[in-house]
Structure 1
Amino acid sequence: MKKSKFLIVPMIAFGMVSLAKAEPLVEESAIPGEFSANISLTSDYIFRGISQTGNNPAVQGGFDYTYDFGPAAVSAGIWASNVKFSDATIEIDYYAGVGGSIDNFSWDLSAIYYTYPGADSSLNYDFFEIAPSIGYDFGFMAVSAGLNYSPEYFGDSGDAYYTHGGIDIPLGKYFTLSGTVGYQAIDDNAAWGTDDYTDYGISLSTEIAGFGLSAGWTDTDLSKSQCDDACGVFSVALSRSF
């Protein structure tokens, strides 16, 4: 998104994660583990309640590698999307982590490096986060919670953390209703451009002929002067995994 009174940071709460179940790219390989890919088209790239494309569509996709070893698995991948900042038009993220599950309880510890090729290095757009999370599936619903921490956030705005939670409720056999809420805290609000804020959203998703389809609404508690048209956004996304 273009920078007005504040700088916008990338990546999704909605639309970045492929909704379709990933399948191996190849069935037989000399390399242990599984490779997969995903691609999606979304009407708006929204990250933590804020549009990253100026309310314009985004084409997104990535490649992932996963290796299971008993009760846990390691994974790594790369993901990219177009963005609309005054000094950057693409975002490329690199990530790796380990996670597992015990009965209905799941856990994950990941590291993510967000980059913006083509942006002036003096702007300090690139940043790193560590992201632990947990989840529990009750059957009739699944809940999750996590914390993303950065020692030096987007735009050289100091250390920052994002606490978040989510809930997924199956609606019959074909639909899932999801809700999210998060709180973004930043050390240097002046460098970032807004106060600390809360974001929240709701979405409905399904799978048709191997394609994931979702529609959702997200917003923040930022004032109109701070968020302009980048908050309070409805979006739809179509995705496919291979």
Structure 2
Amino acid sequence: MKKFTVAALLLTVSGAAFAADLPVKAVKAPTPAFDPWDIAFGGAVMSDYVFRGITQSNHQPSVTAYFEPRYNVNKDLQLYIGTSTESISFANHAAAEVDIYGGVRPTFGAFGFDLGIWGYLYPGGQCQEGFPGGVAVCPAGSPLAAGPNFVQIKQDLSFYEGYGKVNWTFNDNFALGANEYYTPSFLNSGAWGDYASITAKVTAPSKWLGSSGVGAYLSAEVGRQWLGTTDAFYRIAAAPIGIPYPSYDTWNIGIAFTYKVFTLDLRYSDTNLNKGNCAAVTSAFNANIPGNVTAINPNGFGSNWCGALGIAKLSADLTAMTSLK
């Protein structure tokens, strides 16, 4: 009887061990329905709003916000439209930039493309003729801005660009990009504009930063802005039908730290545009640096709107499908 009991116990234990080794067929969870819609949105505060090496806020702090609905046709094709606003300080007294854009983002393996149209609107502008008693250049009835006698700028600076971008992601830590933008009338000046740049981004491996949830990356951009000749609004005695805007190089490099939806970006930006030509291109209302005569700036007052500077930017970026769940 004792032998039978021991044997029965051994069989029971052995049977339990064998059962644990058998594969268990799990009940498959239902696949969630694919929702192609998403919305990206966010905002930022920055010490200076810089666009292609040139301050848009007179070296003052600026705030921005954006809203971008997206439609994912599939995992490799996204359609989108969006709008953003930035606070600015322009020579024509415009205080805000309103952007409206849209396009398509196809992906092919490690290559991500972005093709679209971007419109830049600057409401609230006022025309300025530049020199009292001179030839009137502002349209009759347009609001006139008070300012220095040498500043000449249109009421409406709104324009649009067509663009194409490509980003090559080598791995989780390194990516290269190239960008191309074209407009038939840069800042509504009548001068065509073409901007091309290359970018690079190096992301720190997560193991370097431990379990804090903080991420970090280095990024840089080198670009060139080509510009054509303006219409007759910006004429001078030496160029009565318009001035040939100078083309210039621009570059920036910075380090950024991320935590959840937040990014702190610290960046250095610069151009090779001299102070005299900077004043001519921007019509800077505070161009007060003498001795900067150029072919398109005969008065010789230069501007620091295009020089070297550091920028700090704190931003938050969210998406409805991930950040708000």
TM-score of the aligned structures, taking structure 2 as reference length: 0.62
- SS of match in other structure, 1:132: strand
What's the CA shift string for 1:40-67, capped at 9, x where partnerless?
0000000001111111000100111110
Partner of 2:191: 158
Structure number having the greater strand percentage? 1
What's the CA shift string for 1:95-149, capped at 9, x where partnerless?
0000121211111101001000111486240001000111101114101101100
Q: Which runs of 5+ in 2 are unaligned?
A: 1-34, 128-138, 140-153, 207-214, 235-241, 279-302, 319-325
Structure number having the greater helix percentage? 2
Partner of 1:44: 48
Partner of 1:14: none
Partner of 1:178: 219
**Does structure 1 retain, via aligned residues, the 8 Å contact 2:116–2:162?**
yes
**Does structure 2 retain, via aligned residues, the 8 Å contact 1:154–1:192?**
no
Aligned residue-pair number: 212
Q: Name which of 154, 158, 162 aligns with 1:130.
A: 162
Cα gap change, 1:159 to 1:46, in 2 (>3 Å): same
Using the TM superposition, name which of 200-209 and 116-125 deviates more. 116-125
Using the TM superposition, name which of 90-99 and 226-235 deviates more. 226-235
- Measured in 1, the distance between the counterparts of 2:177 and 2:271 equals 20
Partner of 2:273: 222
**Does structure 1 retain, via aligned residues, the 8 Å contact 2:229–2:245?**
no
Structure with larger Rg: 2
- Measured in 2, the distance between the counterparts of 1:179 and 1:193 equals 29
**Does structure 1 retain, via aligned residues, the 8 Å contact 2:84–2:98?**
yes
Corresponding letter in the other structure for 2:275? K
Higher RCO (CA < 8 A, seq sep 6+): 1
- Measured in 1, the distance between the counterparts of 2:189 and 2:176 equals 33
Tell me whether 1:62 sits opposite 2:103 in the alignment. no
- SS of match in other structure, 2:304: helix
Cα gap change, 1:209 to 1:101, in 2 (>3 Å): closer
Displacement of 1:195:
1.2
- SS of match in other structure, 1:154: helix
Q: Percent identity?
A: 25
- Measured in 2, the distance between the counterparts of 1:54 and 1:75 equals 32
- 1:1-242 to structure 2, matched below 5 A, reads 33-70=37-74, 71-87=76-92, 88-120=94-126, 123=154, 124-139=156-171, 140-173=173-206, 174-188=215-229, 194-227=245-278, 228-230=303-305, 231-242=307-318
Displacement of 1:68:
0.3
**Does structure 1 retain, via aligned residues, the 8 Å contact 2:39–2:67?**
yes
Cα gap change, 1:216 to 1:116, in 2 (>3 Å): same
Cα gap change, 1:51 to 1:155, in 2 (>3 Å): same
Using the TM superposition, name which of 149-158 and 60-69 deviates more. 149-158
TM-score of the aligned structures, taking structure 1 as reference length: 0.82
Displacement of 1:237:
0.5
Using the TM superposition, name which of 144-153 and 187-196 deviates more. 187-196
RMSD, aligned CA:
1.9
**Does structure 1 retain, via aligned residues, the 8 Å contact 2:101–2:116?**
yes
- SS of match in other structure, 2:246: coil
- Measured in 2, the distance between the counterparts of 1:185 and 1:157 equals 13
- Measured in 2, the distance between the counterparts of 1:96 and 1:120 equals 28
What's the CA shift string for 1:163-182, capped at 9, x where partnerless?
11100011233211001011
